[in-house]
């Protein structure tokens, strides 16, 4: 399957943190052509394995982790007129919610819209402020009896948004954070089909990243890799945001440096990019808790970790936007890195 088709398929599916089963099934089916085995752990992480050609006694173990869960909403109250009050699952940009079409996953999937008090009837103070989540509601267009027959407190809600093509290699959709990262893992596995590699490669589609990097914590603990690489998204350039806080779409993956990144892995990834003429960018992160890299690094007695990201605009909205070339370049980078890892390199990671 082509990368764009795969990403489109994942983006259009629903998998709010804690309910990723549909996404797991889709990823497992496509990854199956490029791996030797797969399993799902107790938390729901999909753990796939492509075996390397090295000796079993000293074969390096490399883990590639990208999360499949998405941010969403949850019903917390049904009022006396049948309007739904809701809360968030993960970090949603609340400013973007009013006027959105949604799907409520109750006893059946129900369409609705997010509404709020219109400016015509707001007082002057309200007109100057962003609408707060507590003042929003979901209108299902049904009476209270019908609503209560279909929906319960705790039901999940997602914004309705179809994946779409923009100009050139640019695409937009929901949950590209981080199903684009999963797509980069697929590109890596495809590239490894034509390369020799000594290492066993674990491609892990992690769950519940958006609510505390939980999937990466448990999957890393179970695998105990010699090297862990988190693949996620970072902020792409856009108006109003400084250059030092963003990366450029279409100019390659971002190789991050920070306290969660092993310096020798960072150096090796840069050298591989240069050797194979893969365009790349450098990013810095001094707040490591925002990606699976944090969970990987501090598992058990510590795992040498790297972070590779895809520039993405409008993060945590339903119109996240990226360039497909960055995913493909990232896949090449990871595959060529893996092909050059041996037991001697892994041993050297223990000495800073």
Kindly give the residue spans of alpha helices, DSSP state H, lying in the chain. Answer: 3-11, 21-31, 124-127, 144-150, 176-192, 214-223, 263-275, 292-297, 324-339, 343-348
For residues 202 and 76, give the distance between their C-alpha atoms in angstroms, rounded to a whole number. 38
For residues 331 and 189, give the distance between their C-alpha atoms in angstroms, rounded to a whole number. 8
Q: Find the largest Cα–Cα distance for the chain.
A: 73
* Cα four-point dihedral sign 150, 155, 160, 162: negative
For residues 111 and 296, give the distance between their C-alpha atoms in angstroms, rounded to a whole number. 38
Catalytic residues: 209
* Residue 13 neighbours by CB distance under 10 Å: 18
For residues 335 and 351, give the distance between their C-alpha atoms in angstroms, rounded to a whole number. 24
CB 234 within 8 A of CB 310: yes
């Amino acid at each position: 399957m082509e990368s764009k088709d795969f990403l489109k398929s994942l983006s259009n599916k629903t998998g709010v943190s804690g309910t990723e089963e549909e996404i797991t099934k889709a990823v497992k089916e496509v990854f199956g052509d490029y791996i030797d085995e797969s399993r799902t752990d107790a938390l729901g992480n999909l753990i796939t394995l492509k075996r390397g050609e090295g000796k079993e006694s000293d074969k390096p173990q490399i883990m590639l982790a990208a999360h499949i869960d998405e941010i969403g909403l949850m019903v917390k109250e049904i009022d006396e007129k049948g309007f739904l009050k809701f809360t968030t699952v993960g970090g949603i940009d609340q400013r973007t919610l009013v006027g959105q079409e949604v799907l409520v996953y109750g006893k059946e999937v129900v369409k609705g819209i997010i509404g709020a008090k219109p400016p015509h009837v707001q007082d002057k103070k309200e007109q100057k402020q962003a609408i707060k989540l507590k003042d929003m509601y979901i209108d299902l267009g049904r009476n209270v009896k019908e609503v209560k027959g279909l929906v319960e407190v705790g039901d999940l809600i997602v914004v309705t948004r179809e994946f779409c093509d923009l100009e050139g290699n640019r695409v937009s959709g929901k949950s590209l954070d981080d199903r684009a990262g999963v797509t980069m893992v697929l590109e890596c596995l495809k590239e490894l089909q034509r390369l020799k590699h000594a290492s066993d490669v674990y491609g892990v589609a992690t769950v519940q990243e958006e609510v505390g990097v939980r999937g990466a914590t448990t999957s890393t603990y179970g695998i105990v890799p010699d090297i862990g690489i988190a693949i996620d998204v970072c902020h792409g350039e856009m108006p109003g945001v400084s250059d030092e806080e963003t990366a450029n779409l279409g100019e390659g993956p971002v190789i991050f440096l920070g306290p969660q990144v092993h310096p020798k892995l960072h150096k090796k990834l840069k050298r591989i990019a240069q050797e194979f003429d893969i365009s790349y960018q450098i990013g810095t992160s001094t707040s490591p808790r925002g990606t699976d890299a944090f969970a990987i690094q501090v598992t058990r007695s510590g795992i040498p970790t790297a972070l590779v990201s895809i520039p993405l605009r409008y993060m945590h909205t339903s119109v996240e936007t990226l360039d497909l070339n960055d995913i493909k370049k990232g896949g090449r980078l990871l595959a060529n890195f893996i092909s050059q890892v041996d037991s001697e390199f892994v041993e050297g990671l223990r000495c800073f």
